[in-house]
């Protein structure tokens, strides 16, 4: 989205706020505004005038830039003789930030108004998606694929997002059919032993396996919109879809950490019967916690013979580590590994969406606000997870949750229901002891 688009969007928002105030006054049959309403309207009027000036200047500059570009192209065509019979150009995708078409309005008009032009644009968009994202198989499932530029806007802002799902899981595409995944787990292995004497029977143990069944779960959300909002609104359709998408991803992340595996939920990491370490103390410190972290790591190495890949913790627990100091009031966690003395953790790079930028014991620290802070008898504890990414398996339907449906459920009220849904499955049960959960009274709400 360009700066001009953002200014225009803010101008629309200011107008909507002003209209809401005035409509409230009208609905109450008042002719005068309250002092508070007057102050608010005056501020909105002042802001709208300032925005109008910016829009006028930016629009004039955009027009001038476009004319200059056209002039340069015209001069280039005159100065450079044509040597071929074609010219390579760039065609804007059907639904892009700079296009004039709205994906959601077209979806609505195609379904409820049999709008041929809207249907044609949607069909063209589907063809574009099948070429652009053929590797994820968007042509293999029913429904409409939401334009990629809209899903890019769904970055986690006011929601926790999906750090664990993105950083600390092995990701797979969900098979096109079926509501369960079945994996064979060998629970009794074969054996070998030294042959004491020639011609003695060699060691033999019959292998045995147990079926690991992983349920495919449905995550969905809905929103009712008026026809007026879809037909006459500006940006409302995209705003609603973006919020539903953000919610879907946050719910998925919450499920693969906390889900119980019952009543339609995903069996998450903390219910997968992994290693456990208890951190018990009424006066927690970083010095007391550190050995427990080492214990959690060695349990994975001892019981599953693999190297863990990440620490996963709530942001408040990382803050607890950052706040730790030694006897000389020096921080125990420092932002850069430039020869710190006796640091328990150091910075490992820039902090970006979930990746805290810190590492401890050689493992990156992933922060995820979907980790609950209500565990324990006093409902004030969080947990720390030491995970092996290759043994935290996440399957998502290709394109989830990018399948969208409009259902007219309130025709008498001019109400349109928007539903966003998708399928996913998760398991940390292939090798449960490849992950460790640290819990206990030492992980209560930290004080700073």
143-197 pLDDT, tens digit per residue, is 556 666 665 554 434 678 899 999 889 999 999 899 999 999 888 999 999 999 9
- Provide the mean pLDDT of the chain: 82
Rounded to an integer, the average pLDDT of 227-232 is 77
pLDDT number for residue 6: 82
Share of residues in the chain with pLDDT > 90 (%): 41
Angle (CA) 447 316 273, round 5°: 120
Tokens coding 377: 């008898």
User: Hey, do 3-66 and 158-194+202-448 end up sharing a CATH topology, with the first three levels equal?
Assistant: no
Rounded to an integer, the average pLDDT of 395-412 is 75
384: closest CA among 399, 410, 414, 363? 363
pLDDT number for residue 258: 96
Candidate from 119-128, 315-324, 376-385 with smallest mean pLDDT: 119-128
Choose between 73 and 324: higher pLDDT: 324
Q: Can you list the pairs that 12-18 forms with residues at least 24 positions away whose Cβ atoms lie under 8 Å?
A: 12/234, 12/235, 14/44, 14/47, 14/48, 14/51, 15/48, 17/44, 18/44, 18/45, 18/48
pLDDT number for residue 86: 53
Task: For residue 146, give the DSSP letter.
Answer: P
Is residue 376 pLDDT above 70, yes or no? yes
pLDDT number for residue 131: 62
Choose between 361 and 86: higher pLDDT: 361
Q: Is 371 exposed, middle or buried (0-12, 13-18, 19+ CB in 10 A)?
A: buried
- pLDDT tens readout for residues 12-63: 888 888 888 888 878 888 778 888 888 888 888 888 888 888 888 888 887 8
Q: Could you tell me the pTM of the whole model?
A: 0.66
Tokens coding 376: 């324990």
The residue assigned the tokens 């296009």 is: 99
pLDDT number for residue 296: 97
pLDDT number for residue 54: 84
**Alpha-helical segments (H) within 185-338:** 227-232, 236-258, 286-303, 315-322
Query: Which range, 118-132, 153-167, 425-439, has the best average confidence (pLDDT)?
Result: 425-439
For the domain covering 158-194+202-448, report its CATH number.
3.30.2400.10
pLDDT number for residue 138: 35
Q: Where are the domains of the chain?
A: 3-66, 103-152, 158-194+202-448
Rounded to an integer, the average pLDDT of 331-344 is 66
312: closest CA among 269, 271, 365? 365
pLDDT number for residue 351: 56
Is residue 349 pLDDT above 70, yes or no? no
pLDDT number for residue 155: 42
Query: Which range, 29-43, 275-289, 415-429, has the best average confidence (pLDDT)?
Result: 275-289
Is residue 263 pLDDT above 90, yes or no? yes
The residue assigned the tokens 């000389």 is: 328
Q: Which CATH number applies to 3-66: 1.20.58, 1.20.120, 1.10.1060, 3.40.50?
A: 1.20.58
pLDDT number for residue 132: 56
Contact yes or no for 275/296 (Cβ under 8 A) = yes
pLDDT number for residue 38: 86
Biggest CA-to-CA distance, the chain? 108
Residue 270 — very low, low, confident or very high, per pLDDT cuts 50/70/90?
very high
Strand duo 275-278 + 436-439: pairing? parallel
Contact yes or no for 360/345 (Cβ under 8 A) = yes
Find residue 439's DSSP bridge partners. 278
Is residue 377 pLDDT above 60, yes or no? yes
Candidate from 63-67, 69-73, 386-390 with smallest mean pLDDT: 69-73
């Amino acid at each position: 989205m360009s700066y001009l688009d953002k200014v225009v969007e803010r101008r629309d928002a200011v107008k909507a706020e002003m209209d809401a105030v005035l409509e409230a006054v009208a609905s109450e049959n008042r002719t005068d505004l309250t002092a508070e309403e007057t102050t608010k309207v005056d501020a909105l009027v002042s802001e709208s005038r300032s925005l109008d000036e910016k829009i006028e200047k930016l629009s004039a500059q955009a027009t001038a830039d476009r004319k200059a570009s056209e002039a340069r192209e015209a001069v280039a065509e005159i100065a450079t003789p044509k040597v071929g019979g074609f010219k390579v150009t760039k065609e804007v995708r059907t639904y892009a930030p700079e296009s004039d078409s709205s994906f959601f309005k077209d979806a609505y008009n195609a379904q409820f108004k049999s709008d041929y032009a809207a249907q044609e644009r949607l069909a063209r968009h589907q063809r574009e998606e099948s070429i652009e994202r053929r590797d994820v198989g968007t042509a293999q499932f029913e429904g409409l694929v939401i334009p990629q530029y809209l899903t890019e806007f769904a970055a986690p802002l006011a929601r926790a997002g999906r750090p664990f799902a993105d950083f600390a899981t092995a990701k797979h595409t969900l098979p096109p059919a079926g509501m369960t995944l079945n994996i064979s787990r060998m629970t009794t292995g074969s054996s070998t032993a030294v042959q004491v004497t020639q011609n003695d029977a060699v060691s033999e143990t019959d292998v045995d396996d147990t079926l690991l069944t992983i349920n495919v779960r449905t995550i969905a959300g809905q929103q009712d919109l008026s026809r007026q909002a879809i037909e006459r609104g500006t940006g409302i359709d995209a705003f609603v879809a973006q919020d539903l998408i953000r919610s879907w991803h946050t719910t998925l992340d919450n499920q693969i950490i906390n889900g119980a595996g019952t009543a339609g939920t995903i069996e998450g990491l903390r219910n997968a019967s992994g290693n456990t370490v208890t951190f018990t103390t009424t006066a927690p410190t970083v010095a007391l916690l550190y050995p427990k972290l080492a214990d959690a790591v060695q349990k994975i190495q001892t019981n599953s013979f693999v190297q863990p890949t990440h620490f996963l913790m709530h942001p408040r627990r990382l803050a607890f580590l950052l706040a730790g100091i030694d006897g000389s009031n020096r921080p125990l966690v420092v932002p850069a590994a430039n020869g710190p003395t006796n640091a328990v953790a150091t910075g490992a790079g820039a902090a970006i969406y979930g990746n805290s930028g810190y590492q401890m014991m050689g493992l990156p620290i992933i922060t995820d606000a979907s980790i609950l802070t209500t565990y324990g008898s006093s409902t004030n504890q969080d947990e720390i997870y030491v995970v092996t990414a290759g043994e935290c398996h996440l399957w998502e339907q290709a394109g989830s949750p990018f399948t969208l449906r409009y259902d007219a459920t309130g025709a008498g009220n001019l109400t349109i229901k928007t539903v966003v849904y998708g399928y996913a499955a998760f398991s940390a049960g292939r090798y449960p002891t490849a992950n460790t959960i640290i819990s206990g009274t030492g992980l209560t709400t930290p004080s700073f």
